[in-house]
Chains A and B, each alone.
Chain A
Amino acid sequence: MGEMQFLTWVRGTGLNLAISIFLLGVLVRLLEIYSLGRKKDLAEPRSVAGASGMNTVFRRSIPADGMLKNSPITYIGGYVFHIGLAIIVFLFAPHIKFFQDLLGFSWPGLPSQAVDFAAVLTIVAMLLILFDRISKPVKRYLSTFQDWFTWALTFLPVLTGWMAVQHLLLPYTTMLALHILTVELLLVFLPFTKLFHAFTVFGSRWYNGTVNGHKGVAV
């Protein structure tokens, strides 16, 4: 299969398949998780301002007292790569165009060089947290095949995208096709791995905040 045909396949059939599996997976997983429900809390509630599910959804993004100094790489590396990913995915003009095709609306983007900078930071941060996962005893102990696999699934789209723009290693057409392919792999596996936290983090934080908020504890 030639370069151009590979690119056309990942832009066409591949994309269709990947987005379909992604949507199906997300819906099944969301329903499968949240349909289990939760028993009503009959204890007399204590209402305290700032102690609620919604509050925790946002507040939990801030490290608890003393934790940042304790684990700087986890927090800083984590923030940099998440924010970097958000910038790359949502503020790069070619990507915005993709979303426009899917959703019907678009938004302004950043200059490509700013996104390039974000990509470099993201790559560095992801390598740093990989190294941290290998070297810290707790992370190494907890890690299974899935942890390494999902790291690669997330890393490769950033790397191949950046390499394509920089014209590194392989001709642009092939690099672009590889980039789109790695994105498709990420989409296909996201609902069925820990990457699904992208969706469940909101529910989890909300439940935590609600259960504790009932007691007037702001978590």
Chain B
Amino acid sequence: MSASLEKGVRVLKEVIDAPIASYFSSCVHCGLCAEACLFYTETGDPKYTPIHKLEPMRRLYEQEYTVLGRLKKLIGLSKAVTDAELAEWQELVYNSCTLCGRCSVVCPVGNDIVYMVRKFREGMSASGNAPVGIKGAANRTITIGSPMGVKLPAVKAQMKHVEEDYGLPIPMDAEGAEFLVMLSSMEIMNFPEYLGAIAKIMNQAGKTWTLCSTAFEATNAGMQIGNSDLARVIVSRIVEAAEKLKVKTVISPECGHAYTALRWEGANLMGRSFGFKVRHIIEVLGEFQEQGLLKTEGFETDRLTFHDPCQLARRGGVIKQQRNLLNMVSKNFVEMPDAGFMNWCCGGGGGASAIEEGEELRMEAFKKKKSQFDAVKPDRVVTACANCRIVMEEGLEHYNMNLPVVGLTEMIADHIPNPVVAKPEGN
């Protein structure tokens, strides 16, 4: 079977629901969504107006599901959506949208535009109009197991390094552990300190945890491409693993869309609710902090600020925890303007960072992030998403800014005294 316009149209007809119908019927062309989108504000090009990114889907909705639209199509007043049009829209739907959701929270008539872009991607991918960069990532995730092509041997090698460096065991496939820890390729390859940090924190908290050999990757390229069938394949590996190992909670790593994919889309992709909880690592750390299971020493001395990953904060509802945690290890934490719920996207989420031809646009959009940094002039930026870290590092380099970006979990772990090696249960 091959991708086709017909398939794409059929998929769109399937996913269009009452909310989408209501949203399209409510849009009054006020343009406020553009003012909330960094791809518009930094380029000044009105084609990046969020609601405009959905124009083919709007026309399809009208032609398929409204009396007036059907009439218009019949008498030739409304043109059918073409494959060429969808191809033209690829840049708008993928390169210039990170699913950050800022547009959805400013629309005065209440339109959830990011909800619609996510669904539009279903039709785009089914019709063969997804960008080659994300298709590659999806391919690698499904066939190899991770979008960066990381395989189990590489994971095991990292485990060994961490065990040696930290003097703590890294459990794998431990049945009955309380937590199943997921990783993102970025962490395995670029930030292995994350694994060590987890080990230290779990050890101090006295919690049992494990990795899984058949499901170590949390990143869901299927979700980024916007194809539920592919996203389901990736999610189901994790669900199977969690159920096989009988864990209570699956921890999503410092990654944005991995959390969204598993925590919020997962059950709907599988068609059933889970028997286990799904939590972001920051949520778990926040819980540990509240329960007094997190004991840190000392403080960072330099000036820190925090970049809220869109999928964690605005889209995921985790906003206070990172601040409480950071205040535990820093007395010099300043907030950027618009920090928290209204934070501006790093510009590389939702699969955008995998799109090579979108790099120039991303760099331009990064000016917004730069302006936030310039306003508070921090010594370092802390965040809780590996993709944000990479994207911001690239952007900072592009603008010749010497500003290190670090992960929150590692920073917390750095302030946990080195472990007294106590054997956790269920190892």
Q: Which A residues form the contact surface with B (CB < 8 A)? A: 28-29, 32-39, 41-44, 46, 48, 51, 56-57, 60-61, 63-67, 70-71, 74-75, 78, 133, 136-144, 147, 192, 194, 196-197, 200-201, 203-209, 211-212, 214-217, 219
Interface residue? B68 (CB, 8 A): yes
* CB neighbours of B28 from chain A (8 A): 194, 197
Q: Is the interface of B mostly helix, strand, loop or mixed?
A: helix
Partner of A142, one of B23, B46, B107, B112: B46
If A42-B273, A43-B268, A204-B111 touch, does A194 touch B317 (CB 8 Å cutoff)? no
Interface residue? B3 (CB, 8 A): no
* CB neighbours of B67 from chain A (8 A): 28, 32
CB pairs A–B below 8 angstroms (18 shown): A32-B21, A34-B22, A36-B20, A42-B268, A42-B272, A42-B273, A56-B110, A66-B342, A70-B35, A71-B32, A137-B46, A139-B29, A143-B29, A197-B25, A201-B26, A204-B23, A204-B25, A211-B112
Smallest Cβ-Cβ distance to A59: which chain B residue: B110
B16 touches A142 (CB 8 A): no
Partner of B105, one of A64, A141, A192: A64
Closest 9 CB pairs of A and B: A205-B110, A141-B46, A138-B31, A42-B267, A204-B110, A207-B19, A216-B317, A33-B21, A36-B18
Residue-by-residue, is B111-146 near A (CB-CB < 8 Å gives 1, otherwise 0)? 110010000000000000000000000000000000
Question: How far does the alpha carbon of A41 sit from the alpha carbon of B264 in the complex, in Å?
Answer: 9
Interface residue? B265 (CB, 8 A): yes
Apart from A64-B342, A139-B30, 10 more pairs, CB < 8 Å: A29-B25, A36-B20, A36-B65, A65-B341, A133-B29, A138-B34, A142-B29, A204-B112, A205-B110, A207-B112
Question: How far does the alpha carbon of A192 sit from the alpha carbon of B69 in the complex, in Å?
Answer: 10
Smallest Cβ-Cβ distance to A198: which chain B residue: B26
If A33-B21, A141-B49, A192-B68 touch, does A43 touch B32 (CB 8 Å cutoff)? no
Smallest Cβ-Cβ distance to A33: which chain B residue: B21
* CB neighbours of A32 from chain B (8 A): 21, 65-67
Interface residue? B399 (CB, 8 A): no
If A32-B67, A33-B21, A138-B31 touch, does A48 touch B317 (CB 8 Å cutoff)? yes
B32 touches A205 (CB 8 A): no
Rounded to whole Å, the gap between the CB of A195 and the closest CB of chain B is 8
If A136-B31, A139-B31, A217-B316 touch, does A208 touch B112 (CB 8 Å cutoff)? yes
* CB neighbours of B263 from chain A (8 A): 43
A44 touches B277 (CB 8 A): yes
Chain B, interface size category, equals 35 or more
Question: How far does the alpha carbon of A153 sit from the alpha carbon of B17 in the complex, in Å?
Answer: 30
Partner of A43, one of B47, B105, B267: B267
Smallest Cβ-Cβ distance to B342: which chain A residue: A65
Question: How far does the alpha carbon of A143 sit from the alpha carbon of B46 in the complex, in Å?
Answer: 12
A44 touches B278 (CB 8 A): yes
* CB neighbours of B7 from chain A (8 A): none
A36 touches B26 (CB 8 A): no
Rounded to whole Å, the gap between the CB of A32 and the closest CB of chain B is 6
* CB neighbours of A38 from chain B (8 A): 17-19
* CB neighbours of B212 from chain A (8 A): none
* CB neighbours of A33 from chain B (8 A): 18, 21-22, 25
* CB neighbours of A136 from chain B (8 A): 31
Rounded to whole Å, the gap between the CB of A79 and the closest CB of chain B is 10
Residue-by-residue, is B207-249 near A (CB-CB < 8 Å gives 1, otherwise 0)? 0000000000000000000000000000000000000000000
If A32-B67, A43-B264, A206-B110 touch, does A217 touch B26 (CB 8 Å cutoff)? no
* CB neighbours of A37 from chain B (8 A): 17-18
Smallest Cβ-Cβ distance to B271: which chain A residue: A42
